């Protein structure tokens, strides 16, 4: 009997026929449904936020942003979501979007102290260490949580690497590794720092340590193989490339590495097949230059001079600043008896080589003089002259971090942004070269925001 009465309450079809009870039940059903929707949205948003934080902890920024999009859809206007958006964008390198979300978090009522911390971390990450130094000294004396300590290490490492303060980056990353010896990310960045200094053996050692810790880490294994090949350990490189190829058979970098090993092992036909498969995945006008150069070298090894010249000419048309393509083409022309053509490409290859040797010298000099804006500007000019204009602009941006009034840098960046049709930032560089510039992490940098 009691069960029958409960059924009548729960199921409208079993209500008594008297009308007075129905409006009462319907009136209760509406707020209950609204409450269920609100609570369900909160639960779904909370779950998405949890997923986003887990992705951030693993350094998977794209996955974190996807989860945060879901959280914002489930519960629009939640302050915590805006704050996590800000963290995700900052850590992924988009400082401007990060600042926009920090402002949103502030409007939604998030902790002013936590927002301030994120702004100091953005200053560190952008290379403006002087702005954050008093705050950093204060919080380190007071002690911080492990999560914040890791974010500080990450921001410092990125700031040092982005501004080519490589000695400081190595010190920072080694401290991080001593604290968290099983952490993968600091080892990847440390290996990156060694590669920038042409310390291939040290880079290989870090990548080997990562592979030992995480055998399925594809990037580390591939880059270990790349470094072993540079060190002329062809057999070791080949072994790691083979493992990578089993997991990612369509990866261009892996296929190219395998072909390079096979050629150096004298297995030219297998190398040719690997390259043919790689190049077949791309249209004729977008073939990877490194693969064309390797195929041209194989053609030379097989004494197919005419074919080698055709392949290498295609490579230099696609990338005139490719030193190996130019020098290999010079050798191919020499073998075919075209002395004048060979000399032209030899001279081009030598000029390119000299530019990159100078860039290597500058990087070495900046290790001892990180505050030298002239060197940073020169590095940017070397890259721009080489056709790497966006990379050159990023180098010049680091010059403005140490000297906001550096006129040659502003002039070069004005010309660069005008050439790509960004008249606003071109005009900013005209203005900034003639007035006092006080860096603010909440102000968009015309040089750093590509």
Q: Tell me the pLDDT tens digit for each residue of 112-170.
A: 999 999 999 999 999 888 889 999 999 888 888 999 999 999 999 999 998 889 999 99
Residue 377, token pair as written in the block: 């500007």
Q: Tell me the pLDDT tens digit for each residue of 277-327.
A: 999 999 877 889 999 999 999 999 999 999 999 999 999 999 999 999 999
Residue 169, token pair as written in the block: 């980056």
Q: Tell me the pLDDT tens digit for each residue of 159-215.
A: 999 888 999 999 999 999 999 999 999 999 999 999 998 999 999 999 999 999 999
Q: How far is CA 240 from the centre of its chain?
A: 24
Domain around 420: 371-450
The residue ranking higher by pLDDT, 8 or 381, is 381
Nearest to 425 by CA among 408, 438, 412, 441: 412
Q: What was the pLDDT predicted at 58? A: 87
Q: Tell me the pLDDT tens digit for each residue of 79-95.
A: 999 999 999 999 999 99
| Cβ count near 287 (within 10 Å) | 19
For residue 438, pLDDT over 50 is answered with: no
Per the domain annotation, does 333 fall within a domain?
no
Q: What was the pLDDT predicted at 372? A: 92
Per the domain annotation, does 341 fall within a domain?
no
Q: How far is CA 227 from the centre of its chain?
A: 20
Q: What was the pLDDT predicted at 31? A: 54
Q: State the CATH number of the domain containing residue 432.
A: 1.25.40
For residue 241, pLDDT over 70 is answered with: yes
Per the domain annotation, does 207 fall within a domain?
no
Q: What was the pLDDT predicted at 24? A: 53
Mean pLDDT of the chain: 88
Residue 248, sorted as left (phi over 0), alpha (psi -120 to 50) or beta, turns out to be: beta
Q: What was the pLDDT predicted at 291? A: 95
Per the domain annotation, does 299 fall within a domain?
no
Overall residue count recorded for the chain in this entry: 450
Q: What was the pLDDT predicted at 328? A: 96
Q: How far is CA 35 from the centre of its chain?
A: 43
CA quadruple 403, 408, 412, 418: dihedral positive or negative? positive
Q: What was the pLDDT predicted at 3? A: 45
Per the domain annotation, does 397 fall within a domain?
yes
Q: What was the pLDDT predicted at 370? A: 87
Per the domain annotation, does 379 fall within a domain?
yes
> How many domains are contained in the chain?
1
Q: What was the pLDDT predicted at 174? A: 97
Q: How far apart are CA 272 and CA 291, in angstroms?
A: 10
Residue 152, token pair as written in the block: 């500080």
Per the domain annotation, does 151 fall within a domain?
no
Q: What was the pLDDT predicted at 25? A: 53
Q: pLDDT band for 9, please (50, 70, 90 cuts).
A: very low
Per the domain annotation, does 262 fall within a domain?
no
Q: How far apart are CA 390 and CA 396, in angstroms?
A: 10
SS3 per-residue string spanning the chain: CHHHHHHHHHCHHHCCCCCCHHHHHHHHHHHHHHHHHHHHHHHHHHHHHHHHHHHHHCCCHHHHHHHHHHHHHHCCCCHHHHHHHHHHHHHHCCHHHHHHHHHHHHHCCCCHHHHHHHHHHHHHHCCCHHHHHHHHHHHHHHCCCHHHHHHHHHHHHHHHHHCCCHHHHHHHHHHHHHHCCCCCHHHHHHHHHHHHCCCHHHHHHHHHHHHHHCCCCHHHHHHHHHHHHHCCCHHHHHHHHHHHHHHCCCCHHHHHHHHHHHHHCCCHHHHHHHHHHHHHCCCHHHCCHHHHHHHHHHHHHCCCHHHHHHHHHHHHHHCCCCHHHHHHHHHHHHHCCCHHHHHHHHHHHHHHHHHHHHHHHHHHHHHHCCCCHHHHHHHHHHHHHCCCHHHHHHHHHHHHHHCCCCHHHHHHHHHHHHHCCCHHHHHHHHHHCCCCCCCCCCCCCCCCCC
- Residue identified by tokens 């590509």 is 450
Q: What was the pLDDT predicted at 288? A: 93
């Amino acid at each position: 009997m009691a069960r029958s009465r409960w059924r009548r309450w729960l199921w409208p079809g079993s209500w008594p026929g008297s009308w007075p009870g129905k409006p009462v039940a319907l009136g209760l059903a509406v707020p209950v449904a609204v409450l269920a929707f609100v609570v369900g949205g909160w639960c779904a948003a909370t779950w998405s936020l949890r997923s986003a934080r887990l992705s951030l902890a693993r350094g998977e920024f794209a996955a974190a942003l996807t989860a945060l999009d879901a959280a914002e859809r489930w519960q629009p206007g939640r302050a915590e979501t805006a704050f996590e958006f800000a963290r995700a964008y900052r850590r992924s390198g988009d400082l401007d979007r990060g600042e926009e979300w920090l402002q949103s978090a502030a409007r939604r009522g998030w902790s002013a102290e936590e927002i301030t911390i994120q702004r100091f971390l953005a200053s560190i990450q952008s290379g403006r260490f002087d702005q954050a130094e008093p705050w950093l000294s204060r919080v380190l004396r007071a002690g911080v949580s492990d999560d914040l300590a890791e974010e500080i290490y990450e921001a410092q490492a990125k700031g040092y690497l982005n501004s080519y303060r490589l000695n400081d980056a190595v010190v920072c990353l080694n401290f991080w590794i001593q604290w968290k010896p099983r952490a993968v990310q600091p080892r990847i960045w440390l290996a990156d720092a060694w590669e920038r200094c042409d310390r291939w053996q040290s880079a290989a050692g870090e990548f080997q340590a990562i592979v030992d810790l995480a055998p399925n880490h594809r990037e580390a294994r591939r880059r270990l193989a790349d470094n072993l090949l540079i060190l002329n350990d062809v057999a070791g490189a080949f072994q790691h490339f083979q493992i990578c190829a089993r997991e990612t058979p369509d990866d261009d970098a892996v296929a190219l590495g395998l072909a390079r090993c096979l050629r150096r092992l004298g297995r030219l036909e297998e190398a040719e097949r690997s390259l043919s498969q790689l190049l077949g995945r791309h249209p004729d006008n977008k073939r990877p230059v490194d693969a064309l150069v390797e195929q041209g070298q194989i053609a030379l090894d097989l004494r197919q001079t005419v074919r080698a010249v055709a392949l290498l000419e295609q490579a230099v048309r696609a990338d005139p600043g490719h030193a190996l393509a130019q020098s290999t083409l010079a050798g191919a022309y020499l073998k075919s008896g075209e002395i004048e053509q060979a000399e032209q490409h030899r001279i081009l290859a030598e000029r390119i080589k000299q530019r990159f040797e100078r860039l290597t010298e500058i990087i070495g000099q900046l290790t001892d003089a990180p505050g030298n804006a002239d060197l940073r500007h020169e590095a940017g000019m070397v890259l721009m002259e080489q056709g790497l204009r966006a990379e050159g602009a990023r180098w010049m941006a680091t010059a403005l971090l140490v000297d906001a009034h550096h006129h040659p840098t502003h002039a070069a960046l004005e010309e660069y942004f005008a050439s790509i049709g960004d008249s606003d930032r071109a005009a900013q560089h005209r203005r900034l070269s003639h007035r006092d510039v006080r860096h603010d992490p909440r102000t968009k940098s015309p040089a750093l925001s590509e």
